[in-house]
Amino acid sequence: MPPSLEDNKATVLDFYEVGLNQRDFEAASKLIGPRYVQHNPLIADGIEGFRDFLGYLATEFPQLRAEVKSVFADGDYVIGHVHGIRVPGQRGTAIVDIFRLEDGKIVEHWDVMQPIPEDAANQNGMF
C-alpha cells in the first residue's frame, strides 16, 4: 500500500527532528529518496548537497532549532510552517517548506523564508 497522508507527514516531521534539529545525516538520509531535487538556490541537489548543508548548519549555527508550528499533506506533498531560530534569543525566521515524497521518501524540496521583524503593522503574529 502507498504511504498515507499521515505517514508522509510523519516522515517530514522526523526529517525536521533528526535532520535539522539533531543534524544527524545518517538518520535523515534514510528519509530521502534515491534522487533528491533541491529548489533552494543555496543548497545543491542530491544527498551530498544535503550533507554539505547539514555540515554548514553544524558549523555556523550549532544551536539552530526548527519548531514546526503546523504541517499539512495533500497527496505526495507535505507543507510545513516552521519557526526557524538559528541563534537562541533571536526572533528567527518564518519558513514555509514544501516537500514532495515518492514511496514514503522525500525527493524534492522548496522553501520560502521571511525574517520575523521587531515591529509589525498588526498584532496577528506570523504563526
5-115 folds as Nuclear Transport Factor 2; Chain: A, (3.10.450)
**Predicted confidence band of residue 126 (pLDDT cuts 50, 70, 90):** very high
Q: How confident is the model at residue 2 (pLDDT cuts 50, 70, 90)?
A: confident
* Secondary structure in 3-state letters for 2-71: CCCHHHHHHHHHHHHHHHHHCCCHHHHHCCEEEEEEECCCCCCCHHHHHHHHHHHHHHHCCCCEEEEEEE
Cβ atoms of 19 and 54 within 8 Å: the answer is yes
CA distance 32 to 52: 15
Q: Is the pLDDT of residue 17 over 90?
A: yes
pLDDT above 90 for 1: no
- Residue 35's pLDDT is 95
Whether 23 and 16 have beta carbons less than 8 Å apart is answered as no
pLDDT value at position 4?
95
pLDDT band at 117 (very low <50, low <70, confident <90, very high): very high
Could you give phi then psi for residue 35, rounded to 5 degrees? -130, 120
Which pLDDT score is estimated for 13? Answer: 98
> CA–CA separation, 70 vs 62, rounded Å?
24
Query: Which whole number is the average pLDDT over 14-35?
Result: 97
Domain ranges of the chain: 5-115
pLDDT tens-digit map of 49-88: 999 999 999 999 999 999 999 999 999 999 999 999 999 9
What's the pTM?
Answer: 0.95
